[in-house]
Structure 1
Amino acid sequence: MSQTTHSPTDIALHTAPSFVDTVRRRQSYRDFLPAPVPGPLLREVLTDAQCSPSNCNTQPWNMHIVSGQTRQDLSRALHEANKQGQVSPDFFWDEKAYRGAYGERRQEQGGIYYRNLGVARDDLDGRAAAGARNFSFFGAPHVAMLFMPTVGDGVRVAGDLGMYGQTFLLALAARGLGGVPQTVLGLYADTVRDVLGISPDLKLLYGISFGYPDLGAASNRTPMGRADLSESVTFHS
């Protein structure tokens, strides 16, 4: 039976978990309950995210939160663009470029997700339908689109948006909410800009669908593992 961590009425009484608990329990959810996040609660999350560090305190993030009818309009436009193959990324993307351990981790994540949904490896239609759920925002009532200005090669600004997105996700988790970063939304930048009326001067890096996670959904059954520290950290002394 579907359930959520906290109801909107309970959240005001919710005592925030420790930082350690928040970081280690956060996961990317791919099914959400339809209840919207109350405005005051969302403002608390955004206020936390605004405390993110950035290069020279430039704070280059431009967050566009889409809900209600506009969310439905955006979802329809994205599904149509996906169906027509009308990709328009602002930044190069090639998932096959992930090799070695990086490629293995990517494949492992995909394998767990499809198995939880009951989609076989050779079920191409099923895999396509599962992938298209991105454009319905996994049922989340809100999606945040993260845009950035063009500065140099963009790497520094993109790093700032990554830190902002992580703070946003942790602020959600601390309040019993959840989100999922979605690179694929950034592959349809022109579509998103057209629906939202955003200047082409702002570049779309990624999106985050968010809300109250549906903890009973099969897609949320298995938190992804993490590599041992020895695989990613080198100590010099």
Structure 2
Amino acid sequence: MSTTAVETFTDVIRSRRSARAFLPDPVPADDIRGVLEDAQRAPSHSNTQPWEVHVFSGDARDRLSAAMLKAFEAGQMSPDFTTTYGADDSVHVRRSQQAGAVLYGAMGIAREDTDGRTKAIAENLRFYGAPHVALLFVPELGDVVRAANDVGMYAQNFLLSLTARGYHGVPQGMHGLFADTVRAHLGLPADLKLLYGISFGTADPEASVNRLDIGRAPLDEHIVLHDTSL
């Protein structure tokens, strides 16, 4: 592979950001199709391709948002998968808390501002103003772990393709908290499980929340080397 190709690929990966404020401008249909075709090239166990993806725009997007917000306001959450991160003092919880502090700080929401936090959470279900949202479902194949992993690789292709084309997306686990509501809204069977959604479009360049870099842990927190030198 040429040096230029490596640099371009690395630039795409390292420039990807999760936007949380979008411009209303729709993404052209050719670009959406291109993103979906790129995502479709994701690897999957025995080529099962265990993803079903529903893309919403325009009025369909607004109706979906209204249904999810109604369930949110009524406290009717119905996740298909656990939403916990382990023990309260685990490294994963600490990372989540640190990211939340940075995000809410950028939005000017204090930790004790319960009403402000509730309104901010609800913006997930308005898709942060993005003109499009894709919901990613997985069928009940075995214990679902392999299939869910495959959908994760699909989502990564989706997000990187958006970045390469000058757009942004944000994967949103909160969408998965309203699985029954979404299935009822779409008339889907109970054995099609909702993992999460990806809101996407053009990030608002003026929004301070879009200029954040949450960062990543150093490699030695995650990687164990066996007869390997770096």
Q: Same fold (TM over 0.5)?
A: yes
**TM-aligned CA deviation for residue 89 of structure 1:** 1.0
Q: 1: distance between equivalents of 2:52 and 2:169? A: 18
Q: Report 1:172-183 matches (<5 A).
A: 172-183=162-173
Residue-by-residue CA offset, 1:158-205 (whole Å, 9 max, x unaligned): 100110001100000000000000111001001111222222221101
Which secondary structure state, in structure 2, belongs to the residue aligned with residue 18 of structure 1?
helix
Question: 1:53 maps to which residue?
Answer: 43
Partner of 1:20: 10
1: CA distance between counterparts of 2:189 and 2:74?
23
Report the Cα offset of residue 38 of structure 1: 0.7
Q: Residues 218-237 of structure 1 correspond to what in structure 2 (within 5 A)?
A: 218-237=208-227
1:159 aligned residue (149, 157, 166): 149
Q: Report the alpha carbon displacement of residue 102 of structure 1 after superposing the two structures with TM.
A: 1.1
Check the 8 A contact 2:170/2:199 in 1, yes or no: yes
The yes-or-no answer on 1:67 pairing with 2:57 is yes
TM-score by length of 1: 0.90
| C-alpha RMSD over aligned residues | 1.3
SS at the partner of 1:165?
Answer: helix
- After TM superposition, the structure 1 stretch with the greater mean CA deviation from structure 2, 96-105 or 186-195, is 96-105
Q: 1:115 aligns with which of 105, 115, 120?
A: 105
| In structure 1, C-alpha distance between the alignment counterparts of 2:190 and 2:180, rounded to whole Å | 8
Residue type at the aligned position of 2:10: V
Question: Which runs of structure 2 are paired with 1:192-203 in the superposition (5 Å)?
Answer: 192-203=182-193
Give CA deviations for 1:130-184 in whole Å, capped at 9, x if unaligned.
Answer: 1110010000001100001101111000100110001100000000000000111
In the alignment, what sits opposite 2:77? 87
SS at match of 2:111: coil
Contact 2:21 2:204 in 1 (8 A): yes
State, as a whole percentage, how many aligned pairs show the same letter.
52
AA in 2 matched with 1:214: D
Change beyond 3 A, Cα 1:43–1:57: same
Scaled by the length of structure 2, what TM-score is found? Answer: 0.93
- C-alpha change, 1:97 and 1:211, in structure 2 (3 Å) is farther
Amino acid at match of 1:43: R
Shift of 1:96: 6.0
Match of 1:170 among 146, 155, 160: 160
Structure 2 CA distance, aligned partners of 1:98 and 1:122? 19
State how far apart, in whole Å, the 1-side matches of 2:208 and 2:122 are: 17
**Structure 2 residue corresponding to 1:147, chosen from 125, 137, 141:** 137
**What residue ranges of structure 2 are gaps of 5+ in the alignment?**
1-6
Whether the 8 Å contact between 1:116 and 1:221 is mirrored in structure 2 is no
Q: Please state whether the residue corresponding to 2:181 is helix, strand or coil.
A: helix
Q: Distance in 2 between matches of 1:60 and 1:40?
A: 24
1:145 aligned partner, one-letter code: L
